[in-house]
Homo-oligomer: A and B are copies of this chain.
């Protein structure tokens, strides 16, 4: 591997910070909400229960800066602002869908494991 290739195992590599951003819960939920088509801020916020205005604003701005989402202001009164995935953003749907799909499919098994772990810890504390 050339030393200039992205390597998230190296602490200084920007790919590690990119990995942080795309693995973030709000990024996952926003990108997968926008897979259905362009949406207004209020529509996205309604879809993602419990996201604060501030957090959604920050997330959308980071996605816009990373080239994953476009923000279009339609000159109406009041102006209509619409968010939409770019081609690059759409290429993330597959990986993020894999992540979210794994979490929903395997939650029961994970919860069983947690119960077993906690029970065992009560019997024989480390």
Contact = CB atoms under 8 A, between A and B. Distances in A.
B98 A67 contact: no
Nearest to A24: B23
Nearest to A88: B109
Majority secondary structure of chain A interface residues (helix, strand, loop or mixed)? helix
Q: Report the contact-size class of chain A (Cβ under 8 Å from the partner).
A: 35 or more
B102 A14 contact: no
Contact of A19 (B19, B48, B100, B112): B100
A56 interface: no
Contacts of A47: 9
A71 to B, nearest CB: 10
A40 interface: no
Interface of A: 5-11, 14-16, 18-20, 22-25, 28-29, 47-50, 64-68, 88, 91-92, 94-96, 98-104, 106-107, 109-114, 116-118
Given A15-B104, A67-B116, 5 more contacts: A6-B103, A9-B29, A10-B49, A22-B99, A67-B109
6 contacts: A6-B107, A9-B47, A15-B103, A65-B113, A95-B98, A95-B101
Give 3 closest A-B pairs by Cβ, nearest first.
A67-B113, A11-B50, A23-B23
